[in-house]
Amino acid sequence: MSHSPSINTTEKADNAARTTPFDTLLVANRGEIACRVMRTARRMGLKTVAVYSDADVSARHVREADEAVRLGPAAARESYLNIDAVIDAAKRTGAGAIHPGYGFLSENGSFVKALEEAGITFVGPPASAIAAMGDKSAAKARMANAGVPLVPGYHGDDQDDTLLRSEADRIGYPVMLKASAGGGGKGMRVVESGDGFQAALDGCRRESKAAFGDDRMLIEKYLVQPRHVEVQVFCDRHGNGVYLFERDCSVQRRHQKVIEEAPAPGMTAELRSAMGDAAVRAAKEIGYVGAGTVEFLLDADGSFYFMEMNTRLQVEHPVTEMITGQDLVEWQLRVAMGERLPCHQDELAITGHSFEARIYAEDPDQDFIPATGLLTRFALDLEGAGLNADQVRLDSGVESGDAVSMHYDPMLAKLIVHGPDRDAALATLNRALAALDVQGVVTNRAFLMRLATHPGFKNVELDTRFIERNEATLFAPRTYSREDYASAALIGLHQLAQECESDSPWDRHDGFRLNAPHTIRIALCDPASAQAPDSDEAVVIVEGKRNAGESLWNLTINDETLTASLQPLTGDAVAVTLNGHRQRLQARRDGHVVIMADPSGETRLFWRRIDAIDHGHHEAESTLTAPMNGTVVALLVEPGVAVEKGMPLMVMEAMKMEHTMTAPADGSVEIFHFQAGDTVSQGAVLLDFAANENE
Catalogue the active-site residues.
312
> What is the rounded distance in angstroms from the CA atom of residue 306 to the CA atom of residue 226?
12
Neighbours of 550 (CB within 10 A): 10
248 beta partners? 229, 261
- C-alpha dist (Å) from residue 238 to 15, 218, 569: 8, 34, 55
E-only strand ranges, 21-75? 24-27, 47-53, 67-72
Contact 538, 462 (CB under 8 A): no
* Residue 591 C-alpha from the chain's centroid: 24
Long-range pairs of 74-82 with CB within 8 A, sequence gap ≥ 24? 74/405, 74/407, 75/407, 76/104, 76/407, 76/408, 78/53, 79/51, 79/52, 79/53, 79/54, 80/28, 80/29, 80/30, 80/51, 80/53, 80/104, 80/105, 81/105
DSSP string, 459-485: TT---TTHHHHTHHHHTPPP---HHHH
- Counting beta carbons within 10 angstroms of the beta carbon of residue 44, is it exposed (0 to 12), middle (13 to 18) or buried (19 or more)? middle
* Residue 531 C-alpha from the chain's centroid: 29
- Counting beta carbons within 10 angstroms of the beta carbon of residue 560, is it exposed (0 to 12), middle (13 to 18) or buried (19 or more)? exposed
Number of continuous H segments (helices) and E segments (strands) in the chain: 19, 39
> What is the rounded distance in angstroms from the CA atom of residue 7 to the CA atom of residue 15?
10
**Which DSSP symbol is given to 405?**
P
Residue 368 CB contacts under 8 Å (≥ 6 apart), including other chains: 253, 254, 360, 362, 444
State how beta strands 519-525 and 24-27 pair. Answer: unpaired
Q: How many CA atoms lie within 13 A of 630 on its CB side?
A: 28
Contact 317, 330 (CB under 8 A): no
257 beta partners? 252
- Counting beta carbons within 10 angstroms of the beta carbon of residue 500, is it exposed (0 to 12), middle (13 to 18) or buried (19 or more)? exposed
Contact 258, 468 (CB under 8 A): no
DSSP string, 631-662: EEEEE-S-TT-EE-TT-EEEEEEETTEEEEEE
> What is the rounded distance in angstroms from the CA atom of residue 675 to the CA atom of residue 152?
41
> Which phi and psi (to 5°) does residue 521 adopt?
-110, 130
The closest alpha carbon to 148, from 285, 246, 326, 329, belongs to 285
> What is the rounded distance in angstroms from the CA atom of residue 648 to the CA atom of residue 663?
6
Q: How many CA atoms lie within 13 A of 365 on its CB side?
A: 15
Contact 416, 393 (CB under 8 A): yes
3-state helix, strand and coil shares in percent for the chain, rounded to the nearest 5 = 30, 30, 40
Contact 139, 308 (CB under 8 A): yes
> What is the rounded distance in angstroms from the CA atom of residue 566 to the CA atom of residue 584?
10
- C-alpha dist (Å) from residue 93 to 53, 59, 463, 528, 661: 17, 19, 47, 50, 46
